[in-house]
Chain A
Amino acid sequence: MTPPEDWIQNVALPEVPATLDRRVATMLTSGAQRRPAFPLLPVPLWACAVLVALAYVAGAWCAPAPAAPTATSLVWVSDSNPTFERIFLPNRRKTSFTLRPWILVN
């Protein structure tokens, strides 16, 4: 008796239909090109997320530090403004005034 593997290997394989060859040839020539899933967004979403994160870090790194109050401006405030203590020592007086002095000066 023929062993099963020899019997199977002796089987005449079916002819590939011409229609299949034609379908594949059409795909290969007219090009089933790779297209992005969403045509308006060819850049992958993860790339966008990385760019945004980089821009944020670069912005935080390069932004100028807020201007510190100078001695002269403090003197000017103290001379002309009777509410100097209320402005500069808000916590000690327990007032509700919380603005930073240099914002007022500038």
Chain B
Amino acid sequence: MRHEYIRTFYEANRQGLYAYALTLTGDTAAAEDAVQTAIYKLLKRSFLPSELRPYAYRCVRNAAIDERRRFAGRMSTVPPPEDADTRTPGRPTFVDLVALLQRLTPAERDVVALKCIKELTFDEIARIDGSSLNTVASRYRRALEKLRAIMEEEPR
């Protein structure tokens, strides 16, 4: 039953967890490892946390940081380009997003990825990050201002 619950959670959040891990690590293999580690940590727990989503994202974040640290010299900073067939005309790709987010500080990148990609609330992000609600909100605002400035300089 517990495994079923985790399976349902994974199926509903797999893309978000993977995209988040990929944003943090910039490497597909490391992102896979990070998501697997997070699910393993969920399975290992005696009691599941009442709110699974922030906990799982925090696990992914910690695992991604570990992976990044472990393979610092060997990782590519940007994921490999997607196939030309899968590109939708007029729609930005994930590679473009990762390249854009690399211009932010790690903390700002984290908040933007969680808020915009998976539409987590500030409250959930604060729980993942271990920061206060105000810190997260101001970090997000600052990151958006930076992105706006970048996009004005280099229109996309």
Contact = CB atoms under 8 A, between A and B. Distances in A.
Contact-size category for B: 35 or more
Interface string A1-23: 11111011111111111011101
Interface residues of A, number: 28
Contacts of A13: 15-16, 19, 94, 117
B46 interface: yes
Nearest to B41: A32
B22 A14 contact: yes
Nearest to A20: B32
A28 interface: yes
Interface of B: 3, 6-7, 10, 14-16, 18-19, 22, 28, 32, 35-36, 39-40, 43-46, 79, 82, 86, 88, 91-94, 96-97, 112, 115-117, 119, 144, 147-148, 151-152, 155-156
Given A8-B116, A10-B92, 6 more contacts: A3-B148, A7-B92, A13-B15, A27-B39, A28-B6, A31-B3
